[in-house]
């Protein structure tokens, strides 16, 4: 129910978003059309790829594997009854919505299995209302499906990691084999969704766990649950995952994909695309060392916190305080805490503000070595989180949705911190208050920014009803602020979640349709004027135009506009009059019939579009 309250608002009303969503949806639409349209109605340029090669317009889209296109095309076929002409953008978003639900449920089950039902519910709730997750559930892209595959794979990896310590307790061999097969099937599906991200997370986690458990004998605790267990085997544990079976499953799926694509479009386009993207990923293309996002190195951690804030930041910060304070075994509920001096010293070195990255990693090693024997769940989460974070620190591009595979681990650590360590004395309370005040400031800035964006949206009942959402968010933020001085961080977290919910709903319902609706408004205005006459776009070349033109857009440069009207005397042009004043000279011989105003968010500016036709004598 919580997921539905944030995933469904705006799901049907937000127009196609430039640039990735429009490309994904259009490629899936053309794939759908290639099998659903009658043979006589198919366009060889648009539909030659079939189900093997996604096409956007007349160009193959080879930078993503095909699973997301198959899912989106299948969703559109289901909701349209097989008629591509009846499709809508929300139909291509359904796989992302379902993947978001699956990810939240898998995180909940992980929390229940690792800790207790309370931790599972809190982690699921934190993840459900994380802003990046909410947004991706509204987007027809591959990221949410990839995160679902990764989280399911990590769930199975956790089952195998926990079972490794209980191998002699009569556990089901069939159950272990089922977990192994499910693990590698999820990895293969992740590869078919977005390439190497899922296997990277799984392999890095497994290798880290093997290093942590290397050389340790199996031990057993008399306590309930999984506490006090040191998974045995080290490198032998890796073999228990049947990596050869996994390699066969993943390679078979990937090889089948490559063969089909090479057969459909040739090997050279696929190879050239992979090389080009690999070079750009190293910062040698446009964007330089900063990558496409322009974010400097060592910023991935901040990107993760920004993506899950403000819901998980308070708990995550103090969950980290709990890790530092323990430096040792922190058993479940009634068990006393112990302290390992080497682990505590390592934590002290790792958390020194002036420590280098190498010193931080070396300082954490004694702590992780102790953690693996006393807190296997926390060891698993850190093995999931830290190596993946290091990889994302090393890559150039740091967009919020790139780090989404880390979010379930952050949510679980946050839930653990909220439920276990927050009731205990918090080390460095002044730092805790400062961190909470900083994130309160972030929430206040977001509220003010959303209010400003709300003022720019068109009027109407929907706009004014959003005032209630903004008022609720402001009230919850004030209540959260009042809990900070008393260090009542559970209440702070609860009020933060209550604040983010109306903010998200207000943005999705009242703001986003207007912010991302420029091309839709211009298309509708031109369609009303033109009817069946030809239409061209001048000075505005975004992928949403290709979506509204069903893969057949017409773009004309300002210098060629007069020539275009010479060939299409009765045509209509949608002209951007904001980017260049030189565009206005063409309006001297044309008649503007209507103007459309909106946000060209891809360029970060306000845009004015003129719907013009030729003046007739």
pLDDT at 274 over 70: no
| Contact call for residues 543 and 18 (beta carbons, < 8 A) | yes
Q: Which of 21-25, 154-158, 192-196, 399-403 has the lowest mean pLDDT?
A: 399-403
Tokens of 278: 């690999």
- Phi, psi torsion values for 495, nearest 5 degrees: -70, -30
Over residues 339-362, the pLDDT tens digits come to 455 555 555 555 555 566 666 666
pLDDT at residue number 482: 84
Find the radius of gyration of the CA atoms of the chain.
27
CA atoms within 13 A on the CB side of 37: 20
**What value does the mean pLDDT take over residues 104-129?**
92
pLDDT at residue number 91: 97
pLDDT at 421 over 70: no
pLDDT at 278 over 90: no
pLDDT at 138 over 90: yes
CB-based burial label for 607 (10 Å; 0-12, 13-18, 19+): buried
- 255 vs 415, more confident: 415
**What value does the mean pLDDT take over residues 22-42?**
94
- 89 vs 306, more confident: 89
pLDDT at residue number 356: 64
pLDDT at residue number 309: 59
In terms of CATH architecture, what is 518-614? 3-Layer(aba) Sandwich (3.40)
Question: Is 440 in a helix, a strand, or coil?
Answer: helix
Nearest to 326 by CA among 313, 315, 314, 336: 336
| Contact call for residues 615 and 591 (beta carbons, < 8 A) | yes
Q: Can you say whether the dihedral through the CA atoms of 118, 306, 391, 369 is positive or negative?
A: negative
pLDDT at 230 over 60: no
First to last CA, the chain: 62
Annotate 433-463 with b (16+ C-beta within 10 A) or e (fewer): bebbeebbeebbebbeebbebbeebeeeeeb
Those residues whose C-beta lies under 8 Å from the C-beta of residue 400, and which sit 6 or more positions away, are 132, 303, 306, 307
**What value does the mean pLDDT take over residues 262-278?**
51
Q: Which of 10-14, 122-126, 437-441 has the lowest mean pLDDT?
A: 437-441
How would you list the strands of the sheet with 555-556, edge to edge?
555-556, 535-538, 572-576, 605-614, 590-600
pLDDT at residue number 163: 79
Phi-psi region of 419 (alpha: psi -120 to 50; beta: other; left: phi over 0): alpha
pLDDT at 455 over 80: no
- Mean pLDDT, the chain, integer: 77
- Kindly report whether the global pTM for this prediction surpasses the value 0.75: yes
- 614 vs 157, more confident: 157
pLDDT at 377 over 60: yes
């Amino acid at each position: 129910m919580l997921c539905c309250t944030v995933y469904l608002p705006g799901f049907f009303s937000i127009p196609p978003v430039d640039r990735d969503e429009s490309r994904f949806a259009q490629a899936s639409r053309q794939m759908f059309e290639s099998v659903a349209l009658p043979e006589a109605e198919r366009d060889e340029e648009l539909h030659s790829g079939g189900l093997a090669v996604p096409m956007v317009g007349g160009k193959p889209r080879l930078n993503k594997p095909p699973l997301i296109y198959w899912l989106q095309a299948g969703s559109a076929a289901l909701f349209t009854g097989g008629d591509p002409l009846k499709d809508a953008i929300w139909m291509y978003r359904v796989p992302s919505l379902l993947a978001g639900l699956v990810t939240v449920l898998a995180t909940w089950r992980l929390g229940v299995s690792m800790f207790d039902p309370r931790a599972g519910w809190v982690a699921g709730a934190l993840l459900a209302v994380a802003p990046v997750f909410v947004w991706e559930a509204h987007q027809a892209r591959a990221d949410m499906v990839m995160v679902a595959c990764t989280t399911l794979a990590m769930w199975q990896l956790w089952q195998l990691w926990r079972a490794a310590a209980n191998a002699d307790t009569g556990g089901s061999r069939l159950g272990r084999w089922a977990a192994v097969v499910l693990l590698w099937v999820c990895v293969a599906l992740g590869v078919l969704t977005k390439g190497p991200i899922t296997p990277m997370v799984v392999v890095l986690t497994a290798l880290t766990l093997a290093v942590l458990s290397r050389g340790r004998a199996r031990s057993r605790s008399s306590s309930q649950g999984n506490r006090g267990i040191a998974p045995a085997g080290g490198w032998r544990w890796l073999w228990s995952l049947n990596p050869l079976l996994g390699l066969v499953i993943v390679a078979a799926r990937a090889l089948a994909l490559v063969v089909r694509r090479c057969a459909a479009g040739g090997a050279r386009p696929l190879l050239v695309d992979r090389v080009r993207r690999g070079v750009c990923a190293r910062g040698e293309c446009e964007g330089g060392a900063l990558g496409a996002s322009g974010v400097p190195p060592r910023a991935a951690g901040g990107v993760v916190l920004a993506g899950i804030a403000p819901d998980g930041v308070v708990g995550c910060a103090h969950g980290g305080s709990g890790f530092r304070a323990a430096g040792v075994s922190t058993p479940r509920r009634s068990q006393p805490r112990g302290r390992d001096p080497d682990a505590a010293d390592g934590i002290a070195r790792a958390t020194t503000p002036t420590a280098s990255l190498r010193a931080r990693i070396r300082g954490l090693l004694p702590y992780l070595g102790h953690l693996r024997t006393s807190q296997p769940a926390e060891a698993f989460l850190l093995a999931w989180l830290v190596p993946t974070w290091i990889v994302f620190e090393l890559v150039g591009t740091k967009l919020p949705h790139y780090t989404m595979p880390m979010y379930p681990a952050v949510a679980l650590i946050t839930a653990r911190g909220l439920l276990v360590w927050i009731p205990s004395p918090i080390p460095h309370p002044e730092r805790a208050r400062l961190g909470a005040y900083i994130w309160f400031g972030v929430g206040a800035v977001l509220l003010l920014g959303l209010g400003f964006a709300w003022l720019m949206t068109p009027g109407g009942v929907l706009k004014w009803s959003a005032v209630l959402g903004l008022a609720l968010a402001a009230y919850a933020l004030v209540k959260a602020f009042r809990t900070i001085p008393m260090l009542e961080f559970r209440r702070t977290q609860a009020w933060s979640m209550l604040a983010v919910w109306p903010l998200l709903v207000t943005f999705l319902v009242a703001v986003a349709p207007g912010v991302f609706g420029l091309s839709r408004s211009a298309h509708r205005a031109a369609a009303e004027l033109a009817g069946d006459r030809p239409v061209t776009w001048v000075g505005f070349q975004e992928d949403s135009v290709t979506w509204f033109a069903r893969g057949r857009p017409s773009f004309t440069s300002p210098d060629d506009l007069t020539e275009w009207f010479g060939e299409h005397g009765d045509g209509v042009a949608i002209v951007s009059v904001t980017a260049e004043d030189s565009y206005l000279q063409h309006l001297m011989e044309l008649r503007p019939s209507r103007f459309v105003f909106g946000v060209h968010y891809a360029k970060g500016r306000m845009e004015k579009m003129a719907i013009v036709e030729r003046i007739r004598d």
